[in-house]
Amino acid sequence: MSKPVVGVIGNSGVVNDRHNVQLVGQRNMRAVAEVAGALPLMFAGTPGITDIDALLGAVDGILLTGARANVHPTCFGVEPDPRHEPYDQERDAMALGLIQACVERGVPLFGICRGLQEMNVAFGGTLHPEIRDIPGRMNHRMPRLENGEIHPDPTVVFADRHEVALTPRGKFASLIGCDRIRVNSLHGQAIEEPGKRVVVEGIAEDGTIEAISIADAPGFALGVQWHAEYDPQTNPINRTLFKAFGEALKARKG
């Protein structure tokens, strides 16, 4: 039996200041291949290139990855601010329609960081562009050196930094087998108001929403704010999530 195929969304980028490209981080691909047991297939996060119906006819599931670009504020009724750039409006347009199609058709969907944020917006929720600016919230952005540069050691950048309390008997708690976990943190934007079908499954110690599911979804439809793709080969929490995604892919393919 052939492996299930996972469509991994691309991000708009520019190489050598001149070449427009689509990019996917290799850790996402490895997590799909090595832990979910599927074949990762990058698709363009651009509506003019990627047709949703054709895409969903060719894959068994979708992975919405993290990205540097914030979801554009106009997607949830807020005016944009240059301080919160960059944006990737083509990915916004691609992802929001794709999320709804996946949920409607029962196609397994796993959102990571920006992917969780897109899932929330797709169902009418809002985002805050800089969660650390809200009184009482911690700085969820990646660690930096004293000179402001990003810390050069990925083990420091992706280290577990805070706890997440999972909803007792919720989807995540049932999968993982406990109600409290520790996760990494590399984001500025986060959920402000959950969407209509968005079920909050995990909350950080400062109140930031860290895990969600979609109510009444006929298939796997989970999102996490942390970067679960970093170490699912060794991290038992992230491994469990990608394994569960893999099982949903196999069931869909079968």
Please list the active-site residues: 113, 227, 229
By three-state DSSP, how is residue 27 classified?
A: helix
- Burial string for 31-42 (b: 16+ CB within 10 Å, else e) reads bbeebbbbbbbb
- Residue the block writes with tokens 């290139």: 49
Q: Taking a C-beta distance cutoff of 8 angstroms, is the pair 217, 105 a contact?
A: no
CA–CA separation, 220 and 108 (whole Å): 5
Ramachandran angles phi, psi of 9, nearest 5°:
-65, 140
CA–CA separation, 176 and 104 (whole Å): 26
